[in-house]
Structure 1
Amino acid sequence: MTTGRVARLRREVSVPMYRNAYALMLNTIVNSGLGLLYWIVAARTSTPDDVGRGNALISLMLLVSILTQADFGQALIRFLPRAGGGTRRLVMVSYGVAVGLAVLGATLAMAWCHLLLDASDPLHVSLPFACWFVVSTVAWSVFNLQDSALTGLRASMWIPLENAVYGVVKLGLLVVVARTSLSDGVFTSWTLPVLALLVPVNLLLFRRLIPRHAASTVDPYVPTRTVLTRYLAGGYVGHLAGQMSSTFLPVLVVQLLGSAQGGFFLPAQTAFAAMTLLSSAIVSSLVVEAAKDEERASHYAAAMLRRIAVTVWPAAVVVAVGAPWLLMLFGAEYRENATFLLQLLMLTVFPKVVTSLFNTRSRLQNRTGRIAVLQSLQAVVLVGGTALLAGPVGLTAVGWSALVAEGLPALLLGPSVVRWLRSGRATAESP
């Protein structure tokens, strides 16, 4: 029996789509595990106010970084699999645009935090910190894009190693700064290790992986400027809206409910992000393989859905049931304030698969405008619902709003997604 299972596992990972998906899922598990440990240590060594401020500033950096990448991360995943000789140029263009926009966006964000906010505001920053924030945002943008490049080149197995090193170093720095009087130690320990990892990963990309990919690509395709611009435009609007439903939420919670509630929101947000990233890992691998063989895209999608059903969904159930004990790791206050919120967020994992598959199909068809519309509507429901309900129901407003934002589109889009998946099964069964 053991021999048979090992043989099946070997057959599974011999398929590039599954191998890369499992590598990205492993990366999510590593990131989430080390991230959970990081915030547990932060919660035990810092006050809820310090944790809430640190989380809000990190989230603000992530928001600026992701929005200023202009959706190049998804473009690399979509177009690198067939880029051939144009691979290096496409990666360099993505880096250049993202870095320039990150400097501009981070500078504007810090001008707001330093100049326009009162010194007593939780998000007010000093001038030296503002400069470090700009540098950190630029580094994080390249850090993100290099992972997208590795994914698009079907070299995802490097990503868990890279992020494991980052997570361990980040945790070690947190322990060090907790013993010092350094202000904003949470943010510093989160961002400093990124700079050290940029050089080795990009040497791997440009000296080994990109030349090998360019030489091995058959029937290369590089998108024209018009196609790429249109793709990025729709994707960017979708990303802009999508980030309002993730990285902006901690900032919104702190502004509406205070730093302490922002700290209580943190573990639920971390667990929800982990479940979302598990699905995204599978979907990213699906996009890469389907981009290389678009005629079998629906067949690949059906195969990936089965793997979501046996990995992501059971994990969400386990987290929902174990929410009180999981939050107890952070402290009794976290368990009291965030248990029901975490359970509501785990429920959203089920309908979210429908919208993820819809977005995947839209990306493969280069119809990112549909993604923009969908994610804009979801952002309005989530952010607006949180703002409206925060007063009456407190922190659980985020959970109820997220459930509506994912559930309604899933009901509307479900029939079309099912038809797409069935067409893949028909293709697989045809002679």
Structure 2
Amino acid sequence: MGRRRGRHARPPDQVYRSSFFLLASSVTTAALGFLFWVVVARFYSPEQVGLATSLISATSLLAYLSMFGLNSTLVRFPAPAPARNAQLTQAVVLVAAASAAAALLYLGGLPLYAPKLLFVREHPLTAAAFVLFCVCAAVNTLTDSVFISARLPQLNVLVDGVIQGLVKLALPVLLVAFGPSGIVGSTGGGYIVAVLASLVLMRRRIGFRFDLRTRGTRLREQLGYSVASYTSSLLNLLPLMVVPLIVLARLGTAAAGYYYVAFQIASMLHAVSGAVGEALFAEVSSDESRFGELLRRSATIIAAVQIPAVLVVALGSTLLLRIFGGSYADRGHGLLTVLAVGALAVALNTWASFALKLARSMTHLILSNVLFAVVTIGLTALWAPRGLIWVGLAWGTGNLTSGLYAAAALLTRRPTPPARTGAPARIVHQTPHTAPIEGHRR
């Protein structure tokens, strides 16, 4: 691929640049999310926070489950330029429909697995709002992959970090009269605005237009990869939904609130390996000959950033939680310390999982996530009665087990050359006046 000239020129290796912007997006999102939960903790009781966080966790999980692996397929196997808009349109429509159906099924099953959350379906408007929030969360996740594919990760900083974060931050005080529904509504409002902003930016920056044609989208051809990616994502995200429910059932609503706040802080550490992994995935998808080189480079970046960050959070857990209130510091500092140290296991698991997906070693990827789900959920159910610290230990153990298996599998597997259906498409950054899209990525 020749080096392009002019103001849209790109250096051949963008792993550092992409890692920076994706990490900046995660950090900005996490920082504003941190302020959001500080406000929520001051205006809502721990019991209300515990109920709301269980629904917010469910929203995130249902959104990811509705991806069907398309967020990876859009980057890894983009359609040729004439069919790219149709490929994106099909993906958006499918994900929106799937997330709506998943939300309805979740609401219908609440009496079986979470009777304490039945308040969300007591009023038709509340139930409809929950479904809408799930749809917007799913579509927003998909559009994030579109920007990554177009090598515009800075737009994720704007949409997910700034726009969504500020909208969420402005709503909790206005909705305090609605109790836990006010917290959920604040998060959902951020998703709605983020989706609208994403669609506008897709139109202006990459020339996206809704196109209902079905030919040339490559979605059917890559169905196997999408299904495998979807299955691994389902297994990977299952503990995110089940663990809070176990905490809620075994330790009560207040403990669920303490767990969620501590986990949100720890998630800022998880963002490091996630951002670098996304950048690795994108760059190797563009040039698979550099797989080994970029794999080593990404591991170095993760270690250089992750280890100091873990030390800061682990040593300052009490001070960080005191911002939310004295009860959070007293009841959650041990959990946060354990989760911070466990972020090293999360980093190993994330890095190795991205590598397996790039190598198209999907069987090992699925088995790795089976281990993660079974070990994490099983140990949480077994250890939760002992307290929140043991829940954190279960999380770290599950990630370590999965990461070690994935790393071992990676040592025995080399990437397979991709099947070519024609000349590789190039990424072209566009203004509204240029041709539609030329994509390349995951």
Give the shorter-chain TM-score range. Answer: 0.7 to 0.9
C-alpha distance in structure 2 between counterparts of 1:416 and 1:60, whole Å: 31
Partner in structure 2 of residue 402 of structure 1: 395
Equivalent residue of 1:154, what SS?
Answer: coil
Deviation per residue, 1:126-171 (Å, 9 max, x gap): 1321111111111111111111110111100111111211111111
C-alpha distance in structure 1 between counterparts of 2:179 and 2:354, whole Å: 44
C-alpha distance in structure 2 between counterparts of 1:418 and 1:321, whole Å: 34
1:152 aligns with one of 149, 152, 175: 149
RMSD in angstroms over aligned alpha carbons?
Answer: 2.6
2:220 aligns with one of 219, 225, 235: 225
Equivalent residue of 1:372, what SS?
Answer: helix
Shift of 1:17: 2.1
C-alpha distance in structure 2 between counterparts of 1:31 and 1:88, whole Å: 28
Partner in structure 1 of residue 287 of structure 2: 293
C-alpha distance in structure 2 between counterparts of 1:92 and 1:16, whole Å: 27
1:198 aligns with 2:195: yes
Partner in structure 2 of residue 257 of structure 1: 251
1:240 aligns with one of 213, 221, 234: 234
1:109 aligns with 2:106: yes
Equivalent residue of 1:61, what SS?
Answer: helix
Change in Cα spacing, 1:299 to 1:272, as seen in structure 2 (3 Å) is same
1:382 aligns with 2:376: yes
Change in Cα spacing, 1:210 to 1:277, as seen in structure 2 (3 Å) is farther
Shift of 1:249: 2.3
More helix as a share of residues: 1
Shift of 1:408: 2.8
C-alpha distance in structure 2 between counterparts of 1:195 and 1:354, whole Å: 33
2:365 aligns with one of 368, 371, 380: 371
C-alpha distance in structure 2 between counterparts of 1:324 and 1:367, whole Å: 41
Partner in structure 2 of residue 314 of structure 1: 308
Q: In structure 2, what residue type is equivalent to 1:321?
A: L
Equivalent residue of 2:240, what SS?
Answer: coil
Shift of 1:222: 6.9
1:127 aligns with 2:120: no
Shift of 1:202: 1.2
Partner in structure 2 of residue 19 of structure 1: 17
C-alpha distance in structure 2 between counterparts of 1:118 and 1:265, whole Å: 17
Partner in structure 2 of residue 424 of structure 1: none
Deviation per residue, 1:196-221 (Å, 9 max, x gap): 33233213214431569xxxxxxxx9
C-alpha distance in structure 1 between counterparts of 2:312 and 2:395, whole Å: 19
Shift of 1:349: 2.0
Shift of 1:309: 1.5
C-alpha distance in structure 2 between counterparts of 1:154 and 1:351, whole Å: 29
C-alpha distance in structure 1 between counterparts of 2:113 and 2:269, whole Å: 34
Uncovered stretches (5+) of structure 2, i.e. residues with no partner: 1-9, 210-215, 415-442
Q: In structure 2, what residue type is equivalent to 1:76?
A: L
Q: In structure 1, what residue type is equivalent to 2:30?
A: S
Mean Cα displacement is larger for which, 102-111 or 353-362?
Answer: 353-362
Change in Cα spacing, 1:86 to 1:370, as seen in structure 2 (3 Å) is farther
Partner in structure 2 of residue 169 of structure 1: 167
- 8 A Cα contact 1:122 1:259, kept in partner: no
C-alpha distance in structure 2 between counterparts of 1:315 and 1:83, whole Å: 41
Aligned residues: 396
Deviation per residue, 1:37-63 (Å, 9 max, x gap): 111111111100111111111111111
C-alpha distance in structure 1 between counterparts of 2:325 and 2:197, whole Å: 38
Q: In structure 2, what residue type is equivalent to 1:347?
A: V
1:41 aligns with 2:46: no
Change in Cα spacing, 1:14 to 1:322, as seen in structure 2 (3 Å) is farther
Q: In structure 1, what residue type is equivalent to 2:63?
A: S
Uncovered stretches (5+) of structure 1, i.e. residues with no partner: 1-11, 213-220, 422-431
Partner in structure 2 of residue 78 of structure 1: 76
Equivalent residue of 2:109, what SS?
Answer: helix
C-alpha distance in structure 1 between counterparts of 2:317 and 2:131, whole Å: 36
C-alpha distance in structure 1 between counterparts of 2:289 and 2:114, whole Å: 57
Shift of 1:14: 9.0
Partner in structure 2 of residue 277 of structure 1: 271
Equivalent residue of 2:171, what SS?
Answer: helix
- 8 A Cα contact 1:117 1:124, kept in partner: no
Mean Cα displacement is larger for which, 99-108 or 342-351?
Answer: 342-351
C-alpha distance in structure 2 between counterparts of 1:294 and 1:274, whole Å: 30
- 8 A Cα contact 1:52 1:262, kept in partner: yes
Change in Cα spacing, 1:318 to 1:224, as seen in structure 2 (3 Å) is same
- 8 A Cα contact 1:236 1:372, kept in partner: no
Shift of 1:234: 1.2
C-alpha distance in structure 1 between counterparts of 2:48 and 2:178, whole Å: 13
Shift of 1:328: 1.0
Shift of 1:356: 2.3
- 8 A Cα contact 2:246 2:384, kept in partner: no
What is the percent sequence identity of the aligned residues? 25
Shift of 1:172: 0.8
4+ residue segments displaced more than 3 Å: 12-15, 82-86, 115-119, 180-183, 221-224, 409-421
Change in Cα spacing, 1:420 to 1:305, as seen in structure 2 (3 Å) is farther
TM-score by length of 1: 0.85
Change in Cα spacing, 1:13 to 1:386, as seen in structure 2 (3 Å) is farther
